[in-house]
């Protein structure tokens, strides 16, 4: 099954020679504990949202074709592949998968330069992610106000 890995362009040569190696990089460390070294993958439709969230200046999308026995859903950290989709409040859908194994170069089927991605799809994802962040912030503020208005505080 094909999966997509977004990486800083400076990693292209190393990945093509050594494969994609699971590790906890500075981006992963900010959102994960250090239980596992993992690498993250997405499906094709999710690369637009992830290209924004990862915010690389220059990036490549590494396309791999690997058996799903190596892949698990990163939201549940299940032991087997699940094709579950995360949907934001405003309908932006994206998937995230994880792999604890090295994806060897033989599994790499394509490298897509980030600048060749459909800019309209990136903009649609950007707007959706911004709307969702605003909605989440608004909900958080409403919750804080309700808590502050509780008797006894």
Cβ contact 48:92 at 8 Å: no
- pLDDT tens, the chain, 153 aa long: 899 999 999 999 999 999 999 876 665 555 554 556 788 888 888 888 888 888 888 999 999 998 877 787 655 545 555 555 555 444 556 677 888 889 999 999 999 999 999 988 888 888 877 777 777 777 788 888 888 888 766
Residue 89: the pLDDT is 46
Q: pTM of this prediction?
A: 0.73
User: Which pair of structure tokens corresponds to residue 81?
Assistant: 């592949």
Cβ count within 10 A of residue 3: 25
Cβ contact 52:126 at 8 Å: yes
Q: Give kind and range of the element (H or E) at residue 146.
A: helix 119-148
Residue 85: the pLDDT is 52
The structure tokens 């799903």 sit at: 68
């Amino acid at each position: 099954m094909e999966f997509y890995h977004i990486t800083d362009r400076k990693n292209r040569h190393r990945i093509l020679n050594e494969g994609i190696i699971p590790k906890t990089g500075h981006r992963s460390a900010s959102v994960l504990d250090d239980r596992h070294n993992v690498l993250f993958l997405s499906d094709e439709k999710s690369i637009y949202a992830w290209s924004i969230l990862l915010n690389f200046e220059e990036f490549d999308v590494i396309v791999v074709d690997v058996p799903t026995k190596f892949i698990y859903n990163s939201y549940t950290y299940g032991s087997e592949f699940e094709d579950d989709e995360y949907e934001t409040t405003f309908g932006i859908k994206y998937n995230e998968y994880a792999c604890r194994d090295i994806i060897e170069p033989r599994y790499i089927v394509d490298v897509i330069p980030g600048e060749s991605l459909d800019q309209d799809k990136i903009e649609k994802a950007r707007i959706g992610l911004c709307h969702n962040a605003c909605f989440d912030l608004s909900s958080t503020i409403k919750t804080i106000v309700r808590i502050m208005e509780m008797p006894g505080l």
